Structure 1
Amino acid sequence: MEILTVKNLKKIYTTRFGGNKVEALSNISFSVEEGEYVAIMGESGSGKTTLLNILASLDKPTSGQVLLKGDNISSMKEKNLATFRREHLGFVFQDFNLLDTFSLKDNIFLPLVLSGKNYKNMNDRLIPIAKNLGISHLLDKFPYEVSGGEKQRTAVARALITDPDIVLADEPTGALDSKSTGQLLDIFSDINDKGQTILMVTHSTKSASHAKRVLFIKDGEIFHQIYKGELTNAQMYEKISNTLTLIATGGSRNE
């Protein structure tokens, strides 16, 4: 079952001075099945961050549609978007986006507090998530008291606690060391194996090699995609590297 459908997405920015137009996305179409784990890759300026912002309903496309479980996000009124994001989307950012004046527990609870959930409901949801992520003993600490990897696991808990339709991750391993990166990727694979749909934008070939499908964007369009299938992470890594080399050296589109 398709959970996310992107149809003929185009985004054109007009510069403030001179009125020049920049086409960030020219014609993007793809779909994500429920339970998929998809990575999006591309060189800087390829349009992948613009795409993620539109999927997250943080930006509007110039034309085209984004459908999440049949709801057209791209035409949704601004007053309804905050509630829609909170109830249907989970976010994991490169820089964690945790509030230093809140404990880890309160950071995780924040989207549920905004939704008006009671404490017992929030705590019942938190206990199994914190246990699975290995942060149960850290919940009363503050972000400045824990490591980068622990901050990111907290951010993942915050993303999961609303039981979102899809988790959107923006360079989630970008601020982590190699050990914490490995731990986070194992966590992503584990929650995906349990049915959570994940869409991740990344520059990291290692991170992308854990996904079940990789979409490559070049010049605002889908250039190629790779399905993992029965490939190992190492074999997937090699295929991704070869495609990135093709993109960097101006190779032709692979249909």
Structure 2
Amino acid sequence: MSFLEVSNLKKIYTTRLGGTHVQALRDVTFSVERGEYVAVMGESGSGKTTLLNILAALDTPTSGKVVLDGKNTAELRERELSAYRRDNLGFVFQDFNLLDNFNLQDNIFLPLVLAGKKYPEMKKRLDPIAKKLGISDLLQKFPYEVSGGQKQRAAVARAIITNPKLLLADEPTGALDSRSADSLMQIFDHLNASGQTIVMVTHSVRAASHAQRVLFIRDGEVFHQLYRGEHTTEEMFSLISNTATLIATGGEKNG
């Protein structure tokens, strides 16, 4: 069995009055191996954010299942979900989700505090991560005192300080300038090279070109997949661009 198994996911939303049904996911099936780096792309409304929310156990599918490292999230009780997310998942968001009244260090410590860890252990975990991400000198600053790129580095530190089995990223470069975005993608490359499994939802062809595999979602289904293989990042950029154009112009689904 693969590290992450997504099987026949379907998600239907019903309006409050029950008169309208919106099918966000139709039949999504794919797997992710341990240590793989997968990007998920698709136009707005394609279902990729719904997919990420289900992977994050923030939403439940209408049918189908998600199995992470042998554990079926559908079998978890409500009170077990928070612990599951804390113990297995790391999150990086477009808008950073940092608390303005906490300095960067306390923001990064937050998941460990919730897990009941003591300060010496938290500090021991943070020091090498902060050094790797280049934010050691910024830890006492507040989010409003640093740049967007520095905020996102702090958000990455918070996501990985728990040693998550799976790192989930939702448009992580969306609020960054091109230089900060490139820097963040280099960080993701290094994290993946060290063994971190990553699933990233993105609109950015530039960001997706760093992944080992790109899944394209259209109309709630996996439309196509691209594998890096021996391709360079520049070659992946071209392949992804061409596929995105095919999707946007209504090309036929891959065999």
**Separation of aligned partners in 2, 1:44 and 1:160:** 28
Aligned to 1:50: 50
Measure the CA separation in 2 of the matches of 1:11 and 1:193.
33
Separation of aligned partners in 2, 1:183 and 1:190: 11
Q: Within 2, Cα distance between the matches of 1:123 and 1:62?
A: 42
Indicate the SS of the match to 1:191.
Answer: helix
What is the DSSP-based 3-state SS (H/G/I as helix, E as strand, rest coil) of the residue aligned with 1:2?
coil
Deviation at 1:221, TM superposition (A): 0.4
Could you tell me how far apart the structure 1 residues matched to 2:141 and 2:151 are? 11
SS in 2 for 1:26: strand
Q: Cα offset for 1:75?
A: 2.9
Match of 1:175 in 2: 175
Who is 1:131 aligned against? 131
Secondary structure of residue in 1 paired with 2:3: strand
Q: Which residue of 2 aligns with 1:2?
A: 2
Tell me the TM-score normalized by structure 1: 0.99
Q: Distance in 1 between matches of 2:206 and 2:74?
A: 32
Alignment of 1:58-207 (within 5 A): 58-207=58-207
Structure 2 counterpart of 1:13 = 13
Q: Which amino acid aligns with 1:230?
A: E
Which whole-Å CA distance do the structure 1 matches of 2:253 and 2:146 have between them? Answer: 45
Whole-angstrom distance in 2 between the partners of 1:2 and 1:147: 38
- In structure 2, distance between residues paired with 1:220 and 1:77: 27
Q: TM-score, normalised by structure 2?
A: 0.99
Following the alignment from structure 1 to structure 2, what is the Cα–Cα distance between the partners of residues 45 and 74? 24
Q: Which runs of 5+ in 2 are unaligned?
A: none
Q: Could you give the per-residue CA deviations for residues 26-64 of structure 1, whole angstroms, max 9, x where no partner exists? A: 100101000000000001100000000000000000001
Match of 1:27 in 2: 27
Distance 1:134 1:32, change over 3 A: same
Percent identity reads 67
Q: 2:241 matched to which residue of 1? A: 241
The one-letter code matched in structure 2 to 1:187 is I
Counterpart amino acid of residue 205 in structure 1: V
Query: d(CA) in 2 for partners of 1:231 and 1:116?
Result: 44
Deviation at 1:17, TM superposition (A): 3.6
The one-letter amino acid of 1:77's match is R
More displaced stretch, 229-238 vs 166-175: 229-238
Q: Once the 2 structures are TM-superposed, how far is the Cα of residue 76 of structure 1 from its aligned partner?
A: 1.3
In 2, Cα distance between equivalents of 1:4 and 1:59: 17
Q: Distance in 1 between matches of 2:25 and 2:242?
A: 24
Provide the rounded CA distance (Å) in 2 between the counterparts of 1:156 and 1:74. Answer: 27
Distance 1:148 1:74 in 2: 36
SS of aligned partner of 1:123: helix
- SS across alignment from 1:122: helix
Give the drift of 1:16: 1.9
Which letter maps to 1:175? A
Alpha-carbon distance in 2 for matches of 1:242, 1:77: 43
Partner amino acid, structure 2, of 1:100: D
| Structure 1: segments with no counterpart, 5+ residues | none
**1:18 Cα deviation (Å)?**
5.3
Amino acid at match of 1:103: N
Distance 1:238 1:5 in 2: 29
